[in-house]
Amino acid sequence: MHTRAPASHSPAAPATAARRASRPVALLLAATLALLGALSWTVAGPAQRADAAACAPAWSAGSVYVGGAVVSHGGQNWKAGWWTQGETPGSTGQWGVWRTEGACGGGTGPVDPDPSGFVVSQAQFNQMFPNRNAFYTYQGLVDALSAYPAFATTGGDQVAKREAAAFLANINHETGGLVYVKEINTANYPHYCDATQPYGCPAGQSAYYGKGPIQLSWNYNYKAAGDALGIDLLNNPYLVEQNSAIAWKTALWYWNTQSGPGTMTGHQAIVNGAGFGETIRSINGSLECNGGNPAQVQSRINAFQRFTQILGTTTGANLSC
Of 174, 183, 278, 288, which residue is the catalytic one? 174
174 counts as catalytic = yes
Spell out the domains of the chain, with CATH numbers in brackets: 24-99 (no CATH), 118-314 (1.10.530.10)
pLDDT of residue 116: 64
pLDDT of residue 111: 36
pLDDT of residue 134: 96
pLDDT of residue 249: 98
pLDDT of residue 124: 94
Consecutive 10-residue runs of the chain (321 residues): their mean pLDDT?
Answer: 36 27 31 29 32 32 35 40 34 38 33 64 94 96 94 94 98 96 78 94 94 96 98 98 97 96 96 97 93 96 98 96 95
pLDDT of residue 9: 29
Q: What single letter denotes the amino acid at residue 273?
A: G
